[in-house]
Structure 1
Amino acid sequence: MFAQNVNDSTFRYNSENEQLENPKIKWEILAPVGIGIGAINYSMYKYYQRAWWGEERTKFHTFNDWNNADMNIDKIGHLYGGMVLTKLSYKLYRLSNVSEGWSMFLSSFTSLSFQMQIEFHDAYFKKWGWSWWDVGANVAGAVYPNLQKMWTPLQAVNLKYSYHPSQAYKDGWFDYWIKDYHGFTYWLTLDVNSILPNAADKFWPDWLNIAFGYGVEKVKLGKNIYNSAGNPLGEREWYIAFDYDLVKLFNPKSEWLRELLETLNIIHFPAPAIRFSPSAIYYGLYF
């Protein structure tokens, strides 16, 4: 049960990870990892430069973009992006035999480095600016995966992502995929077995989770993106769906396959879903 996990769990970093032996770092792996991270960072920078940073520049400034025209789905994107960067870079550091503690620190640092350079660039563009909401989401995303390692009950709650090209994107409203917020859905997933009584565990597959989804429609279509009251004109969409834990579903024996499935677990794969707001729609499979 979840309550029992809370009582039994100590910070795993202090219990398990102190037993690690300080293995020799595999520089033949770490060096390419560092070069690869740098190359990915450069590629992301150039992509953002084309997609976002073609606007008028100005001096460094802040702005409050809470409840913006994107209806805050971009904030969830910052949170999710931070989590993904931390998870992936952690695996790469561990593959290089960097110690558990340093891998946790460096993975969060790497994630924040990726994200914060974008914030600094935004701060010099008139249309954007330094957003403390974005920064907060970046920090939360960068540290949450490592908090999950330290306090195991947090592993029951995760954030996933799914995407399908929206009609607005197909119609040419957005010139870059990353701007197609209509096609994004973010999913807060819950490990159901973690909250069930022990007697009920056998009735619910341990690989089947519940997910609560959030998406948007009709944002940034046309020149008028706010109403007379200053609220965004788009629609918020809310979903509930099944979700899969791929590691528990396939129970892989090989370590490399386990690592692959753990990585793929950042994605919400097609599953039965119900959109319950702004209107009810049932989907046999929703992605």
Structure 2
Amino acid sequence: MKMTPWNKTITLLVLLLVSYNCRAQDSLKQQKRLKPLIIASAGAYTISMIGLNHLWYSDYEREGFHFFNDNNEWNQVDKFGHFYSAFHLTSGGDRILHWAGVGSEKSILWSSLASTLVMTSIEVFDGFSAEYGASYGDAIANTAGTLFYFGQQKLWNEIRIQPKFSFRTTHYPDLRPELLGSNLSEQILKDYNGQTYWFSVNLSKFIKKPFPKWLNIAAGYGTTDMIYADKDQNIEMGFNPRRRYFLSIDFDLSEYQSHSKVVNTLIYFVNMIHLPAPALEMRDDELKFHFFY
């Protein structure tokens, strides 16, 4: 199984890339924060890449760089994971550069480039591994996630549509725990049957009234009845892999900020998740209502 997008980004939220012009600014905040941030980010990136190479790729033979077409696997839920990871990696980098005193234009640009470099680095590792292979579908999803953040900031100077994630446990890992996870933490990363990816739209950003600032509408996507990556293989084994589409309300917690930096940071991370809420699901031609999903 290829490395999941969550595995690819879990230790890589901050990266090195800040331009010479950014470093040359002489604000007091930057003097205190930017240089340590660059050093820490460079060290974290280097250590992460060395550790990733040792822990994940060292057991497999190396070969010439090659691609592997996995675009038909898991009903493309894994591609939504790449999109989601790249978006939030860019968002996190932008916030950290802001904290370090980098101006808005530069922080958006360099966080986008940093996100692209981080995600592309992993695809390069995959490309030289005999077990995997670089995926152009993953690369496209990574780039799209970064551009989705960059584009909104350039167009609206804010985020109005945010990718979110939710997970529910399923029985499928019991059938293939080595692939779909043997415990909850592994299942959150590997069981695509339980993952749902959402696009949460803040209606008040588009229509000022009558929608409250915290109320969003969210469209979700997932899959079910898959214990193999390939759809045809699941069908051959008697499963019925299907796509799942959702429409739900959502909550934009970022509209409420406290005086506590710890609380605000917690709000930031919780806001990456689609909290349980009423939802309408369409699976094939079947409609189902969930009081909380």
Which structure 1 residue ranges, 5 or more long, are not aligned? 1-20
Q: Secondary structure at the match of 1:267?
A: coil
Identity %: 27
Q: Secondary structure at the match of 1:271?
A: coil
* 1:136 corresponding residue in structure 2: 140
- Partner Cα separation in structure 2 for residue 41 and residue 166 of structure 1: 37
- Partner Cα separation in structure 1 for residue 105 and residue 229 of structure 2: 49
**How do residues 7-86 of structure 1 correspond to structure 2 at under 5 angstroms?**
23-34=27-38, 35=40, 38-39=43-44, 42-43=47-48, 46=51, 57-66=62-71, 68-86=72-90
Q: 1:160 to 1:54 in 2, by over 3 A?
A: farther
**How do residues 1-287 of structure 1 correspond to structure 2 at under 5 angstroms?**
23-34=27-38, 35=40, 38-39=43-44, 42-43=47-48, 46=51, 57-66=62-71, 68-152=72-156, 155-170=159-174, 172=177, 173-175=179-181, 176-177=186-187, 178-196=189-207, 201-202=209-210, 204-221=211-228, 225-226=232-233, 234-248=241-255, 251-254=256-259, 256=261, 257-258=263-264, 260-278=266-284, 279-286=286-293
* 2:14 corresponding residue in structure 1: none
- Between the two proteins, the alignment pairs up a number of residues equal to 257
- Partner Cα separation in structure 2 for residue 223 and residue 70 of structure 1: 7
**Deviation digits for residues 46-92 of structure 1 (CA, Å, limit 9, x no counterpart):** 468756885554321123332x1211111111111111101111111
Q: Secondary structure at the match of 1:115?
A: helix
Contact 1:148 1:155 in 2 (8 A): yes
Runs of 4+ in 1 over 6 A off after TM superposition: none
Q: 1:125 to 1:170 in 2, by over 3 A?
A: same
Q: Secondary structure at the match of 1:190?
A: strand
Q: Which of 40-49 and 109-118 deviates more?
A: 40-49
- Partner Cα separation in structure 1 for residue 67 and residue 99 of structure 2: 39
TM-score, scaled relative to structure 2: 0.73
Which structure 2 residue ranges, 5 or more long, are not aligned? 1-24
TM-score, scaled relative to structure 1: 0.75
- Partner Cα separation in structure 2 for residue 62 and residue 151 of structure 1: 34
Q: 1:50 to 1:226 in 2, by over 3 A?
A: farther
- Partner Cα separation in structure 2 for residue 51 and residue 165 of structure 1: 26
Larger RCO, structures 1/2 (Cα 8 Å, 6+ apart): 1
Q: 1:37 to 1:240 in 2, by over 3 A?
A: farther
Give 1:227 deviation, angstroms. 7.1
- Partner Cα separation in structure 2 for residue 142 and residue 45 of structure 1: 24
- Partner Cα separation in structure 1 for residue 229 and residue 110 of structure 2: 43
Q: 1:224 to 1:242 in 2, by over 3 A?
A: closer
- Partner Cα separation in structure 2 for residue 103 and residue 38 of structure 1: 20
Contact 1:79 1:138 in 2 (8 A): yes
